[in-house]
Amino acid sequence: MSNQKKNDRMPTIGASRRSFIKDTGRLLAGGAIVSGGLAIPGNAHAHGSDLIKVGLIGCGGRGTSAADQALNTYGGEVRISAMADVFENNVQTAFRSLQGKHAGKVDNNRFVGLDAYSDILKSDVDVVILATPPGFRPLHFEKAIEAGKHVFMEKPVAVDAPGVRRVLAAGKEAERKGLAVQVGLQRHHEFRYQECIAKLHDGAVGEPIFARAYWNAGGVFKRPRRKGQTELEYQISNWYYFNWLSGDHINEQHIHNIDVINWVMNGHPLEAQGQGGREVRKDANSGQIFDHHMVEFAYHGGARLLSQCRHIPGCWTEVAEHIHGTKGYCNISDAKIFDLRGNLVWESETIEGNGKGWQQEQHDMFASLRRGETPNETEYAAHSTMTAIMGRMATYSGKIVKWHDAINSDLLLAYTDSLHSLNDPAPLWPNERGEYDVAIPGKTKVF
């Protein structure tokens, strides 16, 4: 296969054109922020080039891009039929941006508020994109499956063990109902990763002994408190810095690299121990998350993963995964394999730029739906999320954490089902100096 072909991989589209998607709901009033019920559709299926209607829940950076990428897919018509966000300006910005790129393919049905997601689920959309902060994912995913929607949801899929279990249960229900679930761990849809990991599974480096995974970077956005905001509004706006919303950056970002190692190892680790803390995150808008974590994970068979993630400007930056085996070494993110003497023995010829997976995962999802297939990525995504959470449990507690204890933990960081208005009490409150609880290894309890 030539590079060009690999890079422009076109999905195979089912040949039959059947009018399978029923227009069961009434259209929402155009041009206004509206709310209100639509008829609840039965299970949504698309075939051939039928129109697929998409609802976007969480209209920030990633949600807007995922909607754009869904509209770029081949093989049939796609519309963004409805959009929801807790903040009116975000839904408006996303609407303008998508309408600007895909004129005529974005309906002006916009919902605002903490319950806006349920208006999308009551509508006749076939697919929902869930791209809010991950603290809301278990609730939104469970309700989306209940409503009979195919789901594309962003990673991570939860922030705590009860959330992971809820997602696993909803994933099983999706399977039972024949609904597709795809997760934004896009490396699984990048050809270089697929090729390279297939080689590793074929024994290209022998038995895995040791892995390394990094997300060392300078940090992410900060959204300072604004005058007049309620505490809940502030936390949802500056969500990255609160565990009940993000699960800390080991979960939020480093999950990508941890997930690749789980993929190579064909499963999750059995235990973790590690350390971390806050060297530079000291200001009022830094919430409660650490700025560095270093975790050693132990897998079945004894292989270890050394994982590092750092959010400190001015340091060595690296986002990558590596594996060392009995017969050689693989730089997975560069798709290169070396023998034990350091000679390059295989290198992917595919030129696939960073971020290519974001488009490919949408091609793959929509092509599957048009073929009448319903892939379900819930389990590995939930296990990778749980692996990252287990790493956080290890760095927060300073203790060895076993998988069985971690995944059975009943420590729920927030009961998001009870949040309906930005005036509701926040799940977490600062002290009189405006500081939030930060984990102290040796003292903090994680179960």
Ligand X SMILES: NC(=O)c1ccc[n+]([C@@H]2O[C@H](COP(=O)([O-])OP(=O)(O)OC[C@H]3O[C@@H](n4cnc5c(N)ncnc54)[C@H](O)[C@@H]3O)[C@@H](O)[C@H]2O)c1
Cβ neighbours of residue 188 closer than 8 Å, sequence gap 6 or more:
194, 263, 357, 361, 377
Report d(CA 143, CA 123) in Å as an integer.
13
Residues 136-175 touching ligand X, rule: CB under 6 A, are 136, 154-155
Cα separation values, 360 from 161, 186, 196, Å: 30, 8, 17
**Is position 114 an interface residue for ligand X (rule: CB under 6 A)?**
yes
Which is closer to ligand X, CB of 50 or CB of 154? 154
Residues 6+ away with beta carbon under 8 Å from 106: 71, 79, 80, 95, 98, 99
385 touching ligand X, by CB under 6 A: no
Residue 215 near residue 319, CB atoms below 8 Å: yes
Tell me the residue number closest to ligand X, measured at CB: 60
Nearest approach, Cβ of 305 to ligand X (angstroms)? 20
Could you tell me which stretch among 72-80, 81-89, 158-166, 430-438 binds ligand X (CB under 6 A)? 81-89
Respond yes or no on whether the N-terminal peptide bond of residue 375 is cis (omega within 30° of 0): no
Beta carbon nearer to ligand X, 159 or 303: 159
Concatenated DSSP letters of 400-440: -EEHHHHHT----S--GGG--STTSPPSS---TTSPPP---
- Cβ count near 82 (within 10 Å): 30
Q: Is 377 a residue that touches ligand X (CB under 6 A)?
A: no
- With beta carbons less than 8 A apart as the criterion, state whether 402 and 197 touch: no
**Alpha carbon distance 381, 154 (integer Å):** 10
The one among 28, 67, 80, 86 contacting ligand X by CB under 6 A: 86
Q: Is the Cβ–Cβ distance between 23 and 125 less than 8 Å?
A: no
Could you say whether residue 62 binds ligand X (CB under 6 A)? yes
Binding segment for ligand X (CB under 6 A), chosen from 97-105, 110-118, 299-307, 320-328, is 110-118
Query: Could you say which of 28, 46, 54, 57 contacts ligand X (CB under 6 A)?
Result: 57
Strands (DSSP E) contained in 176-240 are 181-183, 208-217
Asked if 359 touches ligand X (CB under 6 A), the answer is no
Contact region for ligand X (CB under 6 A) — 15-23, 60-68, 263-271, 282-290?
60-68
Out of 73, 90, 362, 397, the only residue in the binding site for ligand X (CB under 6 A) is 90
Question: In the complex with ligand X, which residue's Cβ is closer, 240 or 338?
Answer: 240
Stretch of 40-48, 56-64, 258-266, 313-321 lying at the interface with ligand X (CB under 6 A): 56-64
CB 76 within 8 A of CB 51: yes
**In the complex, minimum distance from the CB of residue 205 to ligand X, in angstroms, rounded to a whole number:** 27
21 is a contact residue toward ligand X (CB under 6 A): no
Q: What one-character DSSP code corresponds to residue 28?
A: P
The alpha carbon of 64 is separated from its chain's Cα centroid by a whole number of angstroms, namely: 14
Least separation in angstroms between residue 444's CB and ligand X is 24
The residue with tokens 């017969």 is: 327
Contact (CB, 8 A) for 446 and 393: yes
Which DSSP letter does residue 332 get?
T
List CB contacts of 336: < 8 A, sequence separation 6 or more: 330, 344, 346, 347, 348
Given 95, 117, 141, 366, the residue binding ligand X (CB under 6 A): 117
131 binds ligand X (CB under 6 A): yes
CB 344, min distance to ligand X, A: 29
Alpha-carbon gap, residue 72 to 152, rounded angstroms:
15
**Least distance (Å) between residue 150 CB and ligand X:** 18
The reply on whether position 85 binds ligand X by CB under 6 A is: yes
What x-and-dash track marks residues 222-241 binding ligand X by CB under 6 A? --------------x-----
Between 47 and 363, CB nearer to ligand X: 363
Our CB check for ligand X shows the closer of 346 and 358 to be 358
Does position 134 interact with ligand X (CB under 6 A)? The reply is yes
Contact region for ligand X (CB under 6 A) — 54-62, 158-166, 273-281, 284-292? 54-62
Q: How far is the CB of 156 from ligand X (least distance, A)?
A: 6
Q: Does 259 bind ligand X (CB under 6 A)?
A: no
Q: Per rule CB under 6 A, is residue 247 in the interface with ligand X? A: no
How many chain residues interact with ligand X (CB under 6 A)?
Answer: 26
Contact between 79 and 107 under an 8 Å Cβ cutoff? The reply is yes
Instruction: In angstroms, give the least distance from the CB of 236 to ligand X.
Output: 5
Q: Which of 71, 84, 127, 439 binds ligand X (CB under 6 A)?
A: 84
b/e map 272-308, b = 16+ CB within 10 Å = bbbebebeebeeeebbbbbbbbbbbbbbeeebbbbbb
Dist. CA 287–CA 240, nearest whole Å: 8
Binding positions for ligand X, rule: CB under 6 A: 57-63, 84-87, 90, 114, 116-117, 131-134, 136, 154-155, 184, 186, 236, 252
